[in-house]
């Protein structure tokens, strides 16, 4: 018992805990939000290079549709992604600079930076105070501020 307590103490307060804190600070963003009126659930997940919002089906077992929120790596630095590589693997490759604008890359995105506003027919997703993504529930399509044009990543948000 004493060994277990010492191990737990070292884990929380010892030198090893500093490494754990560093590892935790680099963990990927993941959050869920359920609308109290419709019962629908939205999942926001950081992939390798990008952050996506997924609206789950009413049974919560499948994804109804998704929306591109932003990139977590700078698309303007050494990014030579060919458009042929995008379709099957768009979530596993760096965000192509051809679709990027000044809003695409959000450095050090945290859960507290994201606000979700449910409406009857759409979901508004904000990063800090800026509207970044509108997910149209009726049409099952998304409009992203982080896109320069309509593409495989979604539709450009015009406003």
Over residues 51-61, the pLDDT tens digits come to 999 999 999 99
The answer to whether the CB of 103 falls within 8 A of the CB of 70 is: yes
Average pLDDT, the chain: 82
User: For tokens 């406003």, what's the residue?
Assistant: 159
Instruction: Provide mean pLDDT across the span 18-37.
Output: 68
Comparing CA positions, the residue from 83, 102, 107, 108 lying closest to residue 93 is 83
Residue 144 predicted with pLDDT over 90: yes
In the chain, where the domains are located: 29-156
Residue 105 predicted with pLDDT over 90: yes
Measure the CA–CA gap between 130 and 143, rounded to whole angstroms: 14
């Amino acid at each position: 018992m004493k060994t277990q307590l010492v191990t737990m103490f070292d884990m929380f307060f010892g030198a090893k805990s500093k490494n754990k804190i560093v590892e935790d600070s680099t963990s990927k963003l993941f959050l869920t939000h359920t609308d109290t009126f419709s019962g629908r659930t939205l999942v926001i997940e950081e992939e390798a290079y990008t952050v996506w919002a997924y609206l789950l089906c009413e049974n919560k077992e499948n994804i109804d549709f998704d929306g591109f929120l932003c990139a977590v790596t700078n698309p303007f630095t050494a990014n030579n992604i060919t458009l042929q590589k995008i379709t099957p693997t768009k979530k596993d490759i760096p965000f192509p600079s051809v679709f990027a604008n000044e809003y695409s890359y959000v450095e050090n995105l945290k859960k507290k930076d994201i606000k979700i506003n449910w409406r009857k027919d759409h979901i508004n997703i904000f990063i800090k105070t800026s509207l970044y993504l509108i997910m149209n529930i009726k049409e099952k399509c998304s409009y992203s501020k982080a896109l320069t044009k309509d593409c495989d990543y979604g539709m450009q948000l015009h406003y």
